[in-house]
Amino acid sequence: MESNRRIIDTKGAVIISSSSVVGGKEFEGPLGGCFDFHDPSDRFGQKTFEKSEGEMQRLSLASAIGKIGARPEDIDALFAGDLLNQCVSSAYGLLEYDIPYFGLYGACSTAAEGLMLASVFVSRGIARRAAAVTSSHNAAAERQYRNPLEYGGQRTPTAQWTVTGAGAFVVANEKEVTPDTVLASVVEAFPGIVVEKGITDAANMGAAMAPAAADTLLNFFAASGSSPDDYDMIISGDLGKEGMSILGEILSASGIDASEKLADCGTMIYDLEAQDVHSGGSGCGCSAVVLASHILPQLRRGELSDILIYGTGAMMSPSSLKQGLAIPAVAHLLHLRSPEAKYK
Amino acid sequence: MESNRRIIDTKGAVIISSSSVVGGKEFEGPLGGCFDFHDPSDRFGQKTFEKSEGEMQRLSLASAIGKIGARPEDIDALFAGDLLNQCVSSAYGLLEYDIPYFGLYGACSTAAEGLMLASVFVSRGIARRAAAVTSSHNAAAERQYRNPLEYGGQRTPTAQWTVTGAGAFVVANEKEVTPDTVLASVVEAFPGIVVEKGITDAANMGAAMAPAAADTLLNFFAASGSSPDDYDMIISGDLGKEGMSILGEILSASGIDASEKLADCGTMIYDLEAQDVHSGGSGCGCSAVVLASHILPQLRRGELSDILIYGTGAMMSPSSLKQGLAIPAVAHLLHLRSPEAKYK
């Protein structure tokens, strides 16, 4: 029987631009100097946090397109999503762009899902260039999922901190660009299945997402015949400290030792202790901004050669939690390669 | 300058199975006899309306896969979405399926968006078979977007009635199936851009969506060099009576007379007067169940030869409306052809 867990060959897809926009807390973190734009007030000139999030999306896409001297009409497809109900920060934030629009919902896996579909579109000649944009906003997410920040609710040790940030990427076919414009090539992609292992604690999304992450990684290693040794880093977005620990245990139990390769966008973006963010960052914006402004430059410079990066999404809603349901999660994986490893 | 409004060639993609699940009101409507399953209580054995919606998704996919004697592991990709916050009826409803999962959000355009991406995946050899599933539930949508049904709120004449229903489709590559198993071929697809023309009345989604519908149709006719005369029907899902009237006016003003070809899933599914649904049906489930159980059989039998069907989504949220924002909308189009027209 042929498996339905197949690697998607995204041959020819290369990321040629990226941009990141973050809030004050992210700017104060260890990667602060990497990001393209920040606003210490988290407001971006808007009256509501939801509109601030949309404005971050607009700004990140404008910047990603502008960096390569392109125009919106050079982009044939736009894959976008966020955490807000009905994904309104994408729909409103990107409204000024007359680019065919594919709305996505994958919680924190949305950046990977969008990059995957954008890579498919350019790899298969459906789009000349495609863009992926995602965002999250701490204040908008907290009042939607939990409580408004003004309540000053206590957070548990396993809780993650929703990143205020938006990241945008432009993907092209390598045939249409010169090698020196490539940040990284998208070698292959591996979509995940939805996994739910009984975790009902929304303050422990790491535990809910780790089984989905393990499922994707183990099936990808099996399908590709590769092992952690083949990659410089295997980066999740965003399991947090708690989820990383659980993932390590699941992989070990499966005979995979990846401990020296595993990293997490959620633990990179903040100083967990000093910034009091408990288990680490999360949100659609977290992996997007860390990839856009910290990982891709390392690939571009050849400091990293081959990496796996996978987005992990916890797809509960406040209503589903109140109705007693456990948290379903999904993990979508990309294999990225530096232009140096590819072209030299 | 090359336009970024490009037709997606989905050559080879054929719909080989579909199934529909509806509630009591839909069963009582003019198409009642067409649907595969219904539950007069709208409950589907579940304690909450949200779980009922998930169960409809599960049932529709199980049926679509079962009709062709396939197994879930024969499906390589699943594109799913719904109207609920964080798209929970898809995430929970399809949880038992170990099929790579792509979550979508396009409001009532989700069925078309999912079918488009599924067609791309099989057309380009990324998946052997791909499925698209969408749903909506009147009671779940009303309490999320407006008021719980128990409040008995008055509805305005332009309001649409959210359909209780879920539809599922299986798409394959024609190379892998025999012509007699084809319900319709997906000739080409045309994704829409997000359009917002200042409509703030959530009880008049037709007015908000009609400009997006017109934009997609006019750009598709221009890009394809075709006209309404080339199609037997041009079907929206779901503009309702009000939106259809506005669309007709916009098209007329652009010199396109399509009045004899235009139809709408939202006005087909109910008897608007007798069932007191005002402008007609809406919701991710509406176009899905009408296509699955009313349109596809007509294509299959050769009663229709070539049609355009486009999903129209109004992508506001209750929060965005309260914050005074107008309603953004998108329309995704598919060109479907009967197997008779294709193979004979």
Task: Give start-end residues of each CATH 3.40.47.40 domain in chain A.
Answer: 8-176, 184-339
- B223 and A CB contact within 8 Å: no
Q: State residue B165's pLDDT score.
A: 98
Q: Is the pLDDT of residue B344 over 80?
A: no
Asked if the model's pLDDT at residue A88 lies above 60, the reply is yes
State pLDDT tens for residues A107-127. 999 999 999 999 999 999 999
pTM of the model as a whole: 0.98
**Residue A335 confidence (pLDDT):** 98
A91-105 average pLDDT score: 97
Please tell me the CATH code under which domain B8-176 is placed: 3.40.47.40
What share of residues in chain A are helix, strand, coil (percent, to 5)? 40, 25, 35
Q: Which CATH architecture has domain B187-343?
A: 3-Layer(aba) Sandwich (3.40)
The string of pLDDT tens digits covering residues B278-292 is 999 999 999 999 999
d(CA B9, CA B186): 9
Average pLDDT over residues A172-190: 97
Mean pLDDT computed over A203-217: 97
A225 pLDDT more than 80 = yes
Place of tokens 């579109």: A121
According to DSSP, residue A119 is labeled H
Contact predicate B290/B213, CB 8 Å? no
User: Residue A24 pairs with which residues in a beta bridge?
Assistant: none
8 Å CB contact between B77 and B99: yes
How far B33 CA lies from chain A's nearest CA (Å)? Answer: 33
Q: How confident is the model at residue B33 (pLDDT cuts 50, 70, 90)?
A: very high
Cross-chain Cβ contact A192/B101 below 8 Å:
yes
- Report CB contact under 8 Å: A113, B103: yes
Spatial separation of the C-alpha atoms in residues A9 and B121, rounded to whole Å = 12
Average pLDDT of the residues in A73-86: 98
**Average pLDDT for chain A:** 97
> So what's the pLDDT on residue B15?
98
- Place A63 in a pLDDT band, splitting at 50, 70 and 90: very high
Read off the tokens for B285.
């489930």
A318 interaction partners in chain B (CB closer than 8 Å): 85
Cβ contacts of A330 on chain B, cutoff 8 Å: 91, 101, 103
Per-residue pLDDT tens over the stretch A7-44:
999 999 999 999 999 999 999 999 999 999 999 999 99
Average pLDDT over residues B132-156: 95
| CB neighbourhood size of B21 (10 A) | 32
**Is the confidence at residue B1, as pLDDT, over 90?**
no
Three-state SS for A319?
helix
Pairing of strands B329-337, B306-314: antiparallel
**CATH architecture, range A184-339:** 3-Layer(aba) Sandwich (3.40)
Burial of B32 (0-12, 13-18, 19+ CB in 10 A): middle
| Chain A: closest CA distance from residue B193 (Å) | 4
Q: Does B118 have pLDDT greater than 60?
A: yes
Q: Which residues pair with B136 in a beta bridge?
A: B165
Q: Quick one: pLDDT band at residue A2, thresholds 50, 70, 90?
A: confident
Contact (CB<8Å) A191/B77: yes
**Between residues 136 and 175 of chain A, which touch chain B (CB distance below 8 Å)?**
144
| pLDDT above 90 for B28 | yes
Q: Determine the Cα–Cα distance for residues B313 and B54; give it in Å rounded to an integer.
A: 20
Residue type, B137: H
Cα-based distances in Å from B22 to A203, A208, A327, B300, B320: 36, 32, 27, 22, 30
Residue A325 to chain B, least CA–CA distance (Å): 9
pLDDT at A228: 98
Domain with CATH 3.40.47.40 in chain B: 8-176, 187-343
**Mean pLDDT score of chain B, rounded to an integer?**
97
User: Span A284-310, mean pLDDT?
Assistant: 98
CB contact under 8 A, B105 and A101: no
Give the residue among A193, A133, A105, A284 at the shortest CA–CA distance from B88.
A105
User: Mutating which of B85, B110, B121, B316 best tests the A interface, going by the most A Cβ atoms within 10 A?
Assistant: B85
Residue A48 pLDDT class (50, 70, 90 cuts): very high
Secondary structure string (H, E, C) spanning B59-79:
HHHHHHHHHCCCCHHHCCEEE
Amino acid making up residue A72: P
For the cut 90, the answer to whether the pLDDT of residue B321 exceeds it is: yes
- Put simply, the answer to whether A103 touches B98 (Cβ < 8 Å) is no
Question: Is the backbone of residue B222 left (phi > 0), alpha (psi -120 to 50) or beta?
Answer: alpha
Instruction: State residue A344's pLDDT score.
Output: 58
Within chain A, strands assigned E span 8-9, 13-23, 37-39, 77-82, 101-103, 129-136, 161-162, 165-173, 184-190, 233-237, 262-264, 281-282, 306-314, 329-337
What residues of chain A, 297 to 316, have a C-beta less than 8 Å from chain B? 313, 315-316
Interface of B with A in 50-109 (CB under 8 A): 50-51, 72-77, 81, 83-88, 91-92, 94-95, 97-107
pLDDT for A341 equals: 79
The span from the CA of A209 to the CA of A194, in Å, is: 10
- For chain A, the C-alpha Rg in angstroms (whole number) is 18
SS3 B231: coil
Q: Which chain A residues are closer than 8 Å to B315 by Cβ?
A: 86-88, 91, 103
Please count the other Cβ atoms lying within 10 Å of the Cβ belonging to residue B276.
11
Q: Is residue A290 scored above 80 in pLDDT?
A: yes
- Number of continuous H segments (helices) and E segments (strands) in chain B: 12, 14
